Amino acid sequence: MEKVVIIGSGPAGWTAALYTARAQLAPLVLTGKQPGGLLTTTSIVENFPGFPEGVDGYELMTRMQQQAERFGAKTSFGVVESVDFSQRPFTLVVDGGKVVAETVIIATGASHKHLGVPGEHDLETKGVTYCATCDGALPVFRNQPLVVVGGGDSACEEALYLTRFGSVIHLIHRRDSLRASKIMSDRALSNPKIKPVWDSVVTEVLDVKLDKVTGVKLKNFKTGAESVLNCAGVFIAIGHAPNTAIFRGQIEMDGNGFIIPKHGTMTNVQGVFVAGDCADHVYRQAITAAGAGCAAGIDAERFLAAENH
Ligand code: FAD
Ligand code: NAP
């Protein structure tokens, strides 16, 4: 029986682990398929306090893990397949096995969204990707025209990163202004290698018959005009959806699947807490996720203390 099980190993999960480990609750962290969470897919994080020169996303997450483990957090590379929160202790099915917990902190974050257009799925790993940091340096993209889809911070960051490798980066956005923060928008739009394509959506990724990306079909929303843009890679950065499907029917969530926290980090189930991007559709930053993880750790500790553990 675990006192605290933390589902997820992003900034929210590791911070919750640090606080509950220092409270001597020996939390078990289930990392999921992406140990370290979303920040491991980016290069330099410039806005996490304490790192004036910026910090590599992977390094930051490794340090968070080490810090939590130093105080007794236990790490397991498990994926939670289902949960039973109908009675305490709670039961979690993890890679086919059972884990039993007195309290659970949900910190499952969010996963990238798909465009849902023809060719996208068939050409995934053959030129369609969701992570420039992971795939941008591949030889197939070197000195080639590349496409980034999206208008947020992620799309700007992906486009900027890709300027190191591609000949030109077409930034396809469905409106005529970026959603990204001012600093990221200015950086992207002032880079001579980045060419914005406004008011446009990708309607198909080409060419499934050739089994590789050769271009995208575009439609301009305002004029209705359709065109083909040649490229060797399509980097999709259109946001993220919360990883909460396994909690459906047990934990209250909004229409988009974000868990609804109450009184801090509590959920509708006593003893189950939530932190980070899976419950935050507004801020979605590493520091806010870490802050929520801290709060969830403290809430879980106080909940157990109140039961005289
Ligand atoms: P995540 O980091 O998403 O972690 C979720 C964790 O849950 C993962 O470990 C995953 O494996 C695990 N998980 C999911 N489902 C299960 C399951 N069923 N069982 C077990 N584990 C599971 N923010 C900034 O502040 N600064 C930046 O510079 C910045 N750059 C970014 C760059 C990119 C490309 C992206 C995509 C995001 C960036 N962000 C940045 C946002 C930041 O990454 C997120 O806000 C933050 O990672 C959210 O933390 P989290 O702990 O809530 O979730
Ligand atoms: P986001 O802010 O939700 O932006 C998603 C973008 O994709 C929007 O421009 C949206 O268009 C577009 N889009 C959504 N669905 C689409 C579709 N089906 N077809 C075409 N376009 C679509 O997501 P994000 O950029 O991943 O950022 C998520 C969070 O992480 C944000 O809070 C961000 O600040 C943070 N982050 C921070 C940094 C940094 O600080 N360096 C880097 C990356 C991410 P509309 O604008 O029309 O809605």
Q: Is 277 a catalytic residue?
A: no
**Residue 44, CB-side half-sphere exposure with 13 Å CA sphere:** 7
For residue 85, the CA-to-ligand 2 centroid distance in Å is 32
* H or E element at residue 30: strand 28-30
* H or E element at residue 85: none
Best residue for ligand 2 mutational test, from 42, 44, 154 (most atoms within 8 Å of Cβ): 154
For residue 209, the CA-to-ligand 1 centroid distance in Å is 35
Helices 11-22/57-70 angle, 10° precision: 20
pLDDT at 112 over 70: yes
Q: In the predicted model, what is the mean pLDDT of residues 18-25?
A: 98
Q: Which of 131, 156, 231, 278 is catalytic?
A: 131
Confidence of residue 309 (pLDDT cuts 50, 70, 90): low
For residue 142, the CA-to-ligand 1 centroid distance in Å is 28
pLDDT at 11 over 70: yes
pLDDT in tens, 205-226: 999 999 999 999 999 999 999 9
Confidence of residue 41 (pLDDT cuts 50, 70, 90): confident
Burial 37-54 (b: 16+ CB within 10 A, else e): bbbbbbeebeebeeeeee
Q: Hey, which residues does 44 pair with through a beta bridge?
A: 56
* H or E element at residue 267: none
Q: Is 294 a catalytic residue?
A: no
C-alpha torsion angle, residues 90, 94, 97, 99 (rounded to 10): -30
Is 41 close to ligand 1, i.e. is its CB under 6 Å away?
Answer: yes
* H or E element at residue 12: helix 11-22
pLDDT at 120 over 60: yes
pLDDT at 13 over 90: yes
pLDDT at 266 over 60: yes
Q: In the predicted model, what is the mean pLDDT of residues 271-288?
A: 94
Name every residue whose Cβ is closer than 8 Å to that of residue 209 and which is 6 or more positions away in sequence: none
Distance separating alpha carbons of residues 14 and 107, to the nearest angstrom: 9
For residue 255, the CA-to-ligand 2 centroid distance in Å is 19
> What is the DSSP secondary-structure string of 237-256?
---EEES-GGGTTTS-B-TT
What is the pLDDT, as a whole number, of residue 193?
98
CB 300 within 8 A of CB 273: yes
What is the pLDDT, as a whole number, of residue 258?
96
Name every residue whose Cβ is closer than 8 Å to that of residue 59 and which is 6 or more positions away in sequence: none
Confidence of residue 284 (pLDDT cuts 50, 70, 90): confident
Q: In the predicted model, what is the mean pLDDT of residues 121-137?
A: 89
Which ligand 2 atom is the nearest neighbour of the CA of 150?
7
Share of the chain above pLDDT 90, in %: 90
Distance separating alpha carbons of residues 196 and 185, to the nearest angstrom: 11
Q: Is 289 helix (H, G, I), strand (E, B) or coil?
A: helix
Q: Is 134 a catalytic residue?
A: yes
Q: Whose CA is nearest to atom 15 of ligand 1?
A: 108
Which ligand 1 atom is the nearest neighbour of the CA of 240?
36
Is 241 close to ligand 2, i.e. is its CB under 6 Å away?
Answer: no
Between 130 and 2, the more confident residue is 2
> What is the DSSP secondary-structure string of 146-159?
EEEE-SSHHHHHHH
Count other C-beta atoms under 10 Å from residue 182's C-beta.
8
pLDDT in tens, 156-180: 999 999 999 999 999 999 999 999 9
pTM: 0.85
What is the pLDDT, as a whole number, of residue 125?
83
For residue 277, the CA-to-ligand 2 centroid distance in Å is 13
